[in-house]
Amino acid sequence: MKDVPSEKVQAYLDLFDGDVLQAVRALREVGYGKPVVPAAPRRPLSDEVLIHVEDLKKAYKVGKQQVNALNGVTLDVHKGEFLALTGASGSGKSTLLQLMGGLDKPSEGSVTIHGNKLASLNDKKLSEFRNKTVGFVFQFFYLQPFLRLRQNLEVAGMPARTKRPVRQERVAQLAEVVGLGDRLEHFPKELSGGQMQRAAIARALLNNPEILLADEPTGNLDSENGKAIIDLFEKIRDEFGTTIVVVTHDAAIAARADREISLKDGVLL
């Protein structure tokens, strides 16, 4: 891309009443400006890119109005990386996470994992991808209240058709990893909020996914339990080599992630 002459910068700032973000966006659309340079990682990253996001755009219709949730996001997520996506509410973080996980399709652009563009996969292949390659953790735990913890974890292996003995062994292993080995026969109502979120993380890991996507995983937790979840993410990354992408408002998570990327109005800052 071309460097921007100073008079051109001023002209666009005047055009948008001093709004720098709008001016930069407009300049990029006409071919000016340099691409965003991601912040340096806090620890060395693998050379292998696991998730490649290219010029991703997503628009929604709200009544008669079009809402542009993402406006040309390009980034790479490396194998084994713990990445934090930050930004104000409505900045596009959760939309980006959903597109990375194949929960939605972009309006334009692409998400590529292992050389496969997710938008090009048929429903069967996309379902296989979600069941085997990606694990999801949300702000709310979604544990079935009538099932014991062991059963709540086991059912996660059913869509991937994991054999029951394998599921049972994996449940026992993950319960120990997340510190719930002595809680497997408990019902969700007998668990604390922090324990339920750790259970949700174990459930997301049952099929040994390469990628763990978490949307505000500490949003309903106090600071002590939030710290325990961050510790757990680091443990999962280090022990399993899992690539973790977390949407968060929590500065503590962002500070301990390998890298932080911020969004505003659907673009990278």
Where do the domains of the chain lie? 1-34, 40-48+79-103+116-268
Helix (H, G, I), strand (E, B) or coil at 169: helix
Q: Which residues contact 7 (CB under 8 A, 6 or more apart)?
A: none
Helix (H, G, I), strand (E, B) or coil at 84: strand
Rounded to whole angstroms, the Cα distance separating 95 from 107 reads 12
The CATH H-level (homologous superfamily) assignment of domain 40-48+79-103+116-268 is P-loop containing nucleotide triphosphate hydrolases (3.40.50.300)
Return per-residue pLDDT of the chain as tens, 269 residues. Answer: 345 555 555 655 555 555 555 555 555 554 555 444 445 567 778 889 999 999 999 998 888 888 899 999 999 999 999 999 999 999 999 999 999 999 999 999 999 998 899 999 999 999 889 888 999 998 888 899 999 999 999 988 776 677 788 888 999 999 999 999 999 999 999 999 999 999 999 999 998 999 999 999 988 888 888 899 999 999 999 999 999 999 998 888 899 999 999 999 999 98
| pLDDT given for residue 223 in this prediction | 87
| pLDDT given for residue 27 in this prediction | 56
CB atoms under 10 Å from CB of 127, counted, come to 14
Element at 137 (helix H, strand E): strand 134-137
Q: Which residues contact 269 (CB under 8 A, 6 or more apart)?
A: 36, 87, 262, 263
Rounded to whole angstroms, the Cα distance separating 185 from 260 reads 38
Rounded to whole angstroms, the Cα distance separating 226 from 141 reads 14
Rounded to whole angstroms, the Cα distance separating 30 from 14 reads 17
Distances in Å between the Cα of 122 and the Cα atoms of 58, 62, 102, 129 are 20, 27, 11, 11
Helix (H, G, I), strand (E, B) or coil at 167: helix
Written as six digits, the tokens of 200 are 């949700």
Give pTM, 2 decimals.
0.81
Q: Sheet of 82-86: strands edge to edge?
A: 134-137, 211-215, 243-247, 82-86, 259-264, 267-268
| pLDDT given for residue 51 in this prediction | 97
Amino acid identity, position 22? Q
